[in-house]
């Protein structure tokens, strides 16, 4: 059966995460309801990357199977039904065996903090009004890029069979009023980016040393990491796929 990728963006402030769940609002639930209204039949969505409560996305994906041609004009109808904090950005036919989760080559997350009070950033970045040593932050970020085992930064209640991730880049940069941690990897563990951010900020503040940060990585014990970074500062920024997924669409 023909398969379709659905690209979505959302502000996660009012949702309990990306994936559908009992007795809680989710991005998947809202999108499935809108699609059912437009296509007049239920469609089961498979998600690419699960985001937690309050986490945002500039780009995330679902895929679904549908027998028939889908006109891109359907985007207008779906977006008219969706709440204002969720948008469908694109709808594309893909190869019948394409999978938006398992075929992703990489995912990029960005975590935003701001240090001067700004009411327009309260739900899109973490207010962190402390002096930070940028050199120490980037030294810690380089250690992240050199590591593969992220057991120390994974929450225990996860179904992941391995804690190994390949980090493609990791670093802190200024972006407007925000200091932003950018990290790209082939995969991420639940809570991983927030654990990295919370722990690295302790390095930046001088609460722990660079050497102690290295020891936290090496000990593979998540009780040593700091998971205090709230969800509202985190954005799933980009997901990359091989071109063949779209070129081989039937």
3 state DSSP class of 218: helix
pLDDT at 152: 95
pLDDT at 71: 86
Written as six digits, the tokens of 139 are: 């030294």
pLDDT at 244: 86
Written as six digits, the tokens of 191 are: 């809570």
156, burial (CB in 10 Å: exposed 0-12, middle 13-18, buried 19+): exposed
User: In the chain, what are the domain boundaries?
Assistant: 3-103, 106-237
3-103 CATH choice from 3.40.50.150, 3.30.70.580, 3.30.420.10, 2.102.10.10: 3.30.70.580
Domain 106-237 annotated CATH 3.40.190.10: no
pTM: 0.93
Cα-based distances in Å from 208 to 146, 149, 198, 202: 19, 21, 12, 6
| Residue 71, Ramachandran bin (φ over 0: left; ψ between -120 and 50: alpha; else beta) | beta
Q: Name the E strands within the chain.
A: 3-10, 46-47, 56-65, 86-94, 106-114, 126-127, 167-175, 178-185, 234-240
Q: Where is 139: in which H helix or E strand?
A: helix 134-146
pLDDT at 158: 65
Taking the mean position of all CA atoms in its chain, how far away is CA 116?
25
Residues identified as active-site: 52
Closest to 62 in 3D by CA, of 95, 23, 19, 24:
19
Helices assigned H by DSSP within 65-133 = 74-81
Q: Measured between alpha carbons, how far is 107 from 122 in angstroms, rounded to an integer? A: 25
Identical fold, 3-103 and 106-237: yes
pLDDT at 188: 95
Per-residue tens of pLDDT for the chain, all 250 residues? 889 999 999 999 999 888 877 777 899 999 999 999 999 999 999 999 989 999 999 999 999 999 888 888 899 999 999 999 999 999 999 988 999 999 999 999 999 999 999 999 999 999 999 999 999 999 999 999 999 999 999 987 666 678 899 999 999 999 999 999 999 999 999 999 999 999 999 999 999 999 999 999 999 999 999 999 999 999 999 999 998 888 666 5
């Amino acid at each position: 059966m023909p398969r379709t990728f659905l690209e979505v963006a959302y502000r996660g402030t009012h949702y309990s995460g990306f994936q559908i769940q009992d007795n809680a609002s989710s991005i998947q639930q809202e999108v499935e309801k809108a699609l059912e209204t437009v296509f007049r039949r239920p469609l089961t969505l498979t998600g690419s990357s699960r985001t937690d409560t309050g986490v945002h996305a500039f780009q995330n994906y679902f895929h679904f199977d549908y027998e028939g041609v889908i006109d891109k004009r359907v985007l207008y109808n779906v977006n008219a039904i969706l709440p204002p904090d969720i948008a469908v950005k694109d709808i594309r036919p893909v190869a019948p065996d394409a999978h938006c989760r398992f075929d992703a080559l990489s995912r990029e997350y960005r975590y935003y903090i701001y240090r001067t009070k700004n009411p327009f950033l309260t739900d899109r970045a973490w207010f962190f009004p402390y002096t930070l040593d940028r050199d120490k932050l980037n030294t810690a970020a380089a250690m992240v890029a050199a590591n593969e085992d992220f057991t120390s930064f994974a929450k225990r209640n996860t179904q992941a069979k391995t804690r190994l991730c390949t980090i493609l880049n990791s670093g802190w940069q200024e972006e407007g009023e925000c200091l932003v941690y950018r990290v790209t990897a082939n995969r991420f563990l639940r809570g991983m980016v927030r654990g990295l951010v919370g722990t690295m900020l302790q390095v930046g503040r001088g609460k722990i040393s660079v050497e102690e940060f290295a020891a936290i990585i090496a000990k593979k014990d998540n009780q040593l990491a700091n998971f205090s970074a709230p969800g509202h500062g985190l954005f799933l920024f980009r997901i990359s796929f091989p071109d063949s997924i779209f070129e081989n669409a039937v």
